[in-house]
Chain A
Amino acid sequence: MDNSVANVATPARTIGVDLPLSVDFALIGHQESWRAAADVLAVLRGPERTPLPDDEIKDILPWIPPRAVCHVDVGSIVRTKSGGARAGGLYIDSFIPPDRLEAAYVHENIARVRKAAACAIQAGAKIVSLGGFSSILIEGNFDQLPDRHDTVFTTGNTLTVAFIVQGIQKMCALENRNIRKSTLLIVGATGDVGSGCARCLAPLVRRVLLSARKVERLRRLAAELEANGVQVEIETDLQRFSAEADVVICAASLASPSLLLGRIASDAIVCDAGYPKNLSPTAEMLDAKVFFGGLGQITGGMKFTPDFHGILNRHPFPDVVHGCLLEGMALALEHRFEPFSQGRGFITQERVAEIETIAARHGIYLAPLYNADGPLEDGLDARWNGREDESIGRKTKTKSNSVARYFGRRENWPAYPIFAPGVNTDR
């Protein structure tokens, strides 16, 4: 068979790559900006070659068939007789061009995700996480995936929801806000992530405002929440809510950062959990506390081969990854090869608590909060969220220095599509 692990590993050694011996998990993703795509190709091209000009990248990338880009090795904080538990996997890029995330390309993009899924199956991956638009495209269409043999698929949305909810709670604590008095607005509320956030946070806040494009789905979600005694208002038009929100989650599936929030409190806490980011570069929210949500951090360490650190995970802290991808890694470390998140609208508080527990057991926690301007937390608390564990404390010093180094090198800062200079060239 062409899909044997030996076949995956052997030729790569020819080019000096040391590969894992098993494919416990596969992560399917795509780049959210041309800058990110250029950086990926630059790594593959190697430092001795001139990077490809932007126009060449835009010409070439759409023709690249989905395929593995690198190997990923993650560590757990769980100790085994032979050391820390580890899991090995592949990052597979669907090579969806960043300017083709619109609905007009949906069939082409589903075909790309299918091909990426076929790569994961062929590589013998035991569990596959679908990142970014990959999960949005497939979450309602799991039957469109190829025959799966022993490979299971998860959208990873449950852990994304967990980290969004944790982020909101943490940000409220940092800002001395009483979440119980808050009015929560969820944009993209009927999506899998949005509805999961609604179920988890609705019992904690005073009032919930739900916004999405499809009114019928909004009504169904509102009815579900109201049945539990939650005060809910729905609108397809953000400008028409009767109340101002002071906590906002942006979880819409937008092809580009384009969301302009309407009636929200000037100092609202805003979680941008989109991939690509939701908020428009022209959104003026000077006093709002914006942070990027849905992100977790692997404290047991993560290694890319070839080295894509800071390229595939373009975050200002090491070993930070989107929750959707972390879900597959956490389940692989736990040896629970099951389709934990599938379909749309099935994420419950119980399932969120379960995946949080699994992730935490392996040292996967909420990532330090940050936005396009940089970190929102400092020092120990930022790194490890105040945990008392001694081993974590030991790591903290090193990791904090690492953060300082990271921010010392401006070229390593992520080129986020919102608020960052020059971002409009992406679109």
Chain B
Amino acid sequence: MEPLIDVNCSPIECTSLSPSAPIWQDILAQAMTGELLAAMNYTSLSEICDDPAEVADALEHSECERGHAAAFAAEGRKIGVQVCNNVDAKHWKRLRDAFLRCITERDFIGCLIVQEIMLESFAVASYSRVGKVGPGSLGETFARIAAEEGEHVDHAMSILRAERARDAQRFDDKVYRLHLDVMTTLAKMLAKECKDGHCEVCHSSCVKPSLFEVSLSAAELRGASLQQYLKTLDLLGIPGEVTLTWITQLPM
């Protein structure tokens, strides 16, 4: 596997004079980590694709996600902070492990469900919210990347809808099984408070209590993410009353 930009997360001092810079530093760190994880996932996906076109597609997606990670790092530099990342942080590692289980099973559809339906719902929704309040080019970058991630989802939706049309029961069972694995971890990440200790991505203490200082809140990011996830599942055709039960049973 190709080496990543920097997977170590040593404490990095914030050198910016802006009082909100440390908050943006952590937001960017989470986003950058997510993008690098997505890049790794697409690279892994390319390894189980048989069709050369699919291999090329997965590698192109991987490059795109690396570009997003680099863009977040660049935005950090613009405000005078170095953005760290840690794909081995506990929650992110669990998400990566869930994806790798699909890879081990050579489950292409499972991979798409994890990456495009679950992780991208989280990314699209949270980046969109950050894009609305982020200052200057930082906000623009989040908004732009949210739109690009949305296009990824659109691409995957046609494949997943076709798969569901073949056997809705089997497809929905698979989504539910992956939901229990992946969304439980995402729900813990999105909880208003990190009850399981430090997330291993924030550069010092948890950023969540400070989000209000940049017109965000953990509750808003969670709500928007779950809403996006539900809407995406609706587009797949999974009945709303079923998916409603799924999300109400997540840890909060």
Q: Taking beta carbons and an 8 Å cutoff, which residues of A are in contact with B?
A: 2, 6-8, 10-15, 41, 44-46, 49, 52, 56, 59-60, 62-65, 67-71, 90, 119, 306
B184, chain A: closest CB distance, angstroms = 12
Q: Taking beta carbons and an 8 Å cutoff, which residues of B are in contact with A?
A: 168-169, 172-173, 176, 192, 219, 222-224, 226-227, 230-231, 234, 236-245, 247-249, 252
Q: Please judge, given known A-B contacts A59-B223, A60-B226, A62-B223, whether A67 and B244 are in contact too, CB under 8 Å.
A: yes
- B contact residues around A60 at 8 Å (CB): 222-223, 226, 252
Question: What is the CA–CA distance of A10 and B222 in the complex, to the nearest angstrom?
Answer: 29
* Chain A contact residues, majority secondary structure: helix
The interface centre, meaning the residue of A10, A52, A70, A306 with most chain B CB atoms within 10 A of its CB, is: A10
- B contact residues around A15 at 8 Å (CB): 176, 242, 245
**7 further A-B pairs in the complex, CB-CB below 8 A; given A11-B172, A68-B241, A68-B244:** A7-B237, A10-B172, A11-B239, A52-B252, A56-B192, A56-B252, A306-B245
Question: What is the CA–CA distance of A2 and B230 in the complex, to the nearest angstrom?
Answer: 15
Question: What is the CA–CA distance of A59 and B241 in the complex, to the nearest angstrom?
Answer: 20
Is there an interface contact between B237 and A68, defined as CB atoms closer than 8 Å? Answer: no
- A contact residues around B192 at 8 Å (CB): 56, 59
Set B219, B237, B245: member contacting A44, Cβ < 8 A: B245
Name the residue on A nearest B217 (C-beta).
A59
Closest 8 CB pairs of A and B: A67-B240, A63-B223, A2-B237, A11-B172, A68-B241, A59-B219, A44-B248, A63-B227
Name the residue on A nearest B241 (C-beta).
A68
* Chain B contact residues, majority secondary structure: helix
- B contact residues around A67 at 8 Å (CB): 230, 234, 240-241, 243-244
Set B227, B241, B242, B245: member contacting A65, Cβ < 8 A: B227
Name the residue on A nearest B226 (C-beta).
A63
- A contact residues around B249 at 8 Å (CB): 44-46, 49
- B contact residues around A7 at 8 Å (CB): 168, 237, 239
Name the residue on B nearest A49 (C-beta).
B249
Question: What is the CA–CA distance of A14 and B170 in the complex, to the nearest angstrom?
Answer: 10
B97, chain A: closest CB distance, angstroms = 24
- B contact residues around A306 at 8 Å (CB): 245
Question: What is the CA–CA distance of A55 and B146 in the complex, to the nearest angstrom?
Answer: 29
B119, chain A: closest CB distance, angstroms = 18
Set B224, B234, B241: member contacting A63, Cβ < 8 A: B224
Question: What is the CA–CA distance of A12 and B246 in the complex, to the nearest angstrom?
Answer: 11
Name the residue on B nearest A69 (C-beta).
B241
Question: What is the CA–CA distance of A15 and B244 in the complex, to the nearest angstrom?
Answer: 12
Name the residue on A nearest B171 (C-beta).
A11
- B contact residues around A12 at 8 Å (CB): 239, 241-242
B156, chain A: closest CB distance, angstroms = 16
Is there an interface contact between A8 and B248, defined as CB atoms closer than 8 Å? Answer: no
Question: What is the CA–CA distance of A45 and B246 in the complex, to the nearest angstrom?
Answer: 8
Name the residue on B nearest A44 (C-beta).
B248
B68, chain A: closest CB distance, angstroms = 25
Q: Please judge, given known A-B contacts A59-B192, A59-B223, A65-B230, whether A11 and B252 are in contact too, CB under 8 Å.
A: no
Set A6, A69, A119: member contacting B168, Cβ < 8 A: A6
B105, chain A: closest CB distance, angstroms = 20
A61, chain B: closest CB distance, angstroms = 9
The interface centre, meaning the residue of B173, B230, B239, B249 with most chain A CB atoms within 10 A of its CB, is: B239
Question: What is the CA–CA distance of A13 and B247 in the complex, to the nearest angstrom?
Answer: 17
- B contact residues around A65 at 8 Å (CB): 227, 230-231, 234, 240
- A contact residues around B176 at 8 Å (CB): 14-15
Set B168, B169, B230: member contacting A64, Cβ < 8 A: B230
